[in-house]
Amino acid sequence: MWLNSILETIGNTPLIKLNKVTKGLPCTVLAKVEYFNPGNSIKDRMALKMVE
């Protein structure tokens, strides 16, 4: 898969399941990996909306 612009990566932040943290617990804990965004921050979404 390839993208036409780095801006297309904003808003598609992956969720990662934390297996070791929840071992033995009857729940699922997910962590949002914001460093996958171009600016390594959740602020990328806000900045993109301001530019658009």
Provide the annotated active-site residues.
43
Yes or no: say if 11 and 36 are a contact pair by the CB < 8 Å rule. Answer: no
Question: Cα separation of 2 and 31, whole Å?
Answer: 25
Q: Any idea what DSSP says for residue 27?
A: S
